[in-house]
Structure 1
Amino acid sequence: MSLSDEIAERLLTAIINGDFPAGSMLPPEGELAERYAASRLTVREAVKVLRAQNVVRIHRGRGTYVNPPDRWTALEPVIRAAAGASRSGGVVSERLIEARRMIEIGAVELAAVRRSKEDLEQLRSLLDDMRDAAAAQDTDLFVSADIAFHDCVMRAAGNAFIPLLFEPFGRLLEEGRRETSAVPAIRENAIAHHALILEALITGDARQARQAMDAHMAQTVDDLRVHVLSAPNVADPESSHGSV
């Protein structure tokens, strides 16, 4: 990584952390150069990197201004901003579920007619892992098995592009699952819905599979609102791993 790229990363981090909020003007080049112990030329190149991603915009004669994240055009900065926002509210979590719903309902419909015997065996094993983790109150194991179950469904759809759609969101998915899966009632609901999804995939009924995944996504949103967003403390006191 070049020095200008490194400065761009540090500047992006400062923007995401709120040092330079959306709509604000970045300090002059000289001040940024002093802040990051770099030359003005290096700072100028770093700002160009962020400008190419539409993180900032330049008004000649006025200065460089920070754009809101919904105008950024590069995926990595958007994901980093979303990860930061998810720690302070549930809006990002709900938006992520919306995106999952759009993709996973279609994926499970394809998986119902394309899944292999090996896919079904893996899904059964992962569902057993979820049950074992819930019984052991092991949130980490539960989250791993849950994510792996959905990943298996997407791969069973037989379309190489589908699993790749969510690959950049791995960190957000894990954080969101950890937040909700720390609640025993949510674990129970998840197991029940995953069992219905597996049943539909076993029978090869695409319509049933679609309905089962849709119901699971709806339940996930409801659980998030009832057990997490409205609760003053979502930590599971019985979990050996706690929650994030």
Structure 2
Amino acid sequence: MSLSDEIAERLLTAVIEGDHPPGSMLPPEGELAVRYGASRLTIREAVKVLRSQNVVRVVRGRGTLVNPPDRWTALEPMIRAATAAPRAKGGVVSERLIEARRMIEIGAVELAARRRTDEDLDELRRLLDEMRAAAAARDTEMFVDADIAFHDVVMRAAGNAFIPLLFEPFGRLLIEGRRETSAIPEIREHAIAHHVLILQALETGDPDKARRAMHAHMAQTADDLRTYVIAGQSGSDGHGSGAG
């Protein structure tokens, strides 16, 4: 990694951590050069990296303005910002992630119903058994690993190499989101029940049935997030009554 790329990473971290919040101006080149022990040219190249990702933009006559994350055009900075989001915003991030999952995974399971192999089904059965065992043992980490692996097998079974790659950048968010929800017994029970239905649909090879099963799973996941996680956070912060 070049010095300018390294400084771009450090600047991005400063933006994500709130040192340079959206709507603020980055310090002048000279000040940044002193802060990071680099030349003005290196600072200019570092800022150019952030400009290429639309993390910042130049405002003529004013300087370099920090854009809000929803205007950034590079996935990695957006994921870093989402991962670092305060708990008050965490529910929004998780809901948006479920929306993205719904768009991809419903289509993927439809293809998987047509293309899955006996080996795929055997692996899904094994992972479902792992989820049951983890739930019985109250082992959240084991449950999360088996849950994510189950969905990975479904995406691979779709027989399209591009589909698994679509979710690769979201790895950290997926794991953290699953840890948060899978720690709740009711959510584990719901997840297992829906994974059973998805597996049964794939066993029949019926694309419509598989699509409906995954749609129901995504809807239940979103509802569980709102009921058990977001409402609970609001209650604990004194802004709501929490889950009943």
1:188 paired with 2:189, answer yes
Determine the C-alpha separation between the residues in 1 that align with 2:184 and 2:204: 31
Instruction: Name the counterpart of 2:31.
Output: 31
Determine the C-alpha separation between the residues in 2 that align with 1:143 and 1:124: 16
Instruction: Name the counterpart of 1:7.
Output: 7
The TM-score normalised by the length of structure 1 is 0.93
Comparing both structures, which one devotes a greater share of its residues to helix? 2
Determine the C-alpha separation between the residues in 2 that align with 1:176 and 1:117: 30
- Determine if contact 1:21/1:66 at 8 Å carries over to the other structure: yes
Instruction: Name the counterpart of 1:221.
Output: 222
Equivalences for residues 57-96 of structure 1 within 5 A: 57-85=57-85, 87-89=87-89, 90-96=91-97
Structure 1 letter corresponding to 2:92: V
Instruction: Name the counterpart of 1:21.
Output: 21
Determine the C-alpha separation between the residues in 1 that align with 2:234 and 2:32: 40
Structure 2 letter corresponding to 1:2: S
Determine the C-alpha separation between the residues in 1 that align with 2:62 and 2:172: 37
Structure 1 letter corresponding to 2:196: A
Determine the C-alpha separation between the residues in 1 that align with 2:117 and 2:83: 35
Structure 1: give runs of 5+ residues left out of the alignment: 235-244
Deviations for 1:22-42, whole angstroms, at most 9, x for unmatched residues?
A: 111011111111222222221
The structure 1 segments of at least 4 consecutive aligned residues displaced by more than 6 Å after TM superposition are: none
Instruction: Name the counterpart of 1:199.
Output: 200
Q: Report how far residue 18 of structure 1 moved.
A: 1.0
Structure 1 letter corresponding to 2:140: T
Q: Report how far residue 11 of structure 1 moved.
A: 0.2
Structure 2 letter corresponding to 1:34: V
- Determine if contact 1:86/1:93 at 8 Å carries over to the other structure: no
Deviations for 1:90-133, whole angstroms, at most 9, x for unmatched residues?
A: 00100000000011001101111110000000000000000000
Structure 2 letter corresponding to 1:32: L
SS in 2 for 1:65: strand
Determine the C-alpha separation between the residues in 2 that align with 1:93 and 1:15: 21
Determine the C-alpha separation between the residues in 1 that align with 2:97 and 2:32: 34
The TM-score normalised by the length of structure 2 is 0.93
Deviations for 1:194-216, whole angstroms, at most 9, x for unmatched residues?
A: 00000000111111111110000
Deviations for 1:210-244, whole angstroms, at most 9, x for unmatched residues?
A: 1110000000001001111111499xxxxxxxxxx
Structure 2 letter corresponding to 1:64: T
Q: Report how far residue 86 of structure 1 moved.
A: 6.3
Instruction: Name the counterpart of 1:123.
Output: 124
Instruction: Name the counterpart of 1:46.
Output: 46
Structure 2: give runs of 5+ residues left out of the alignment: 236-244
Determine the C-alpha separation between the residues in 2 that align with 1:73 and 1:218: 28
1:103 paired with 2:104, answer yes
Structure 2 letter corresponding to 1:116: T
Q: Report how far residue 164 of structure 1 moved.
A: 0.6
Determine the C-alpha separation between the residues in 2 that align with 1:60 and 1:191: 56
Determine the C-alpha separation between the residues in 2 that align with 1:114 and 1:72: 37
Instruction: Name the counterpart of 2:162.
Output: 161
- Determine if contact 1:24/1:66 at 8 Å carries over to the other structure: yes
Aligned residues: 235
Q: Report how far residue 43 of structure 1 moved.
A: 1.0
Instruction: Name the counterpart of 1:175.
Output: 176
Determine the C-alpha separation between the residues in 2 that align with 1:143 and 1:23: 38
Task: Give RMSD over aligned pairs.
Answer: 1.5
Determine the C-alpha separation between the residues in 1 that align with 2:63 and 2:114: 56
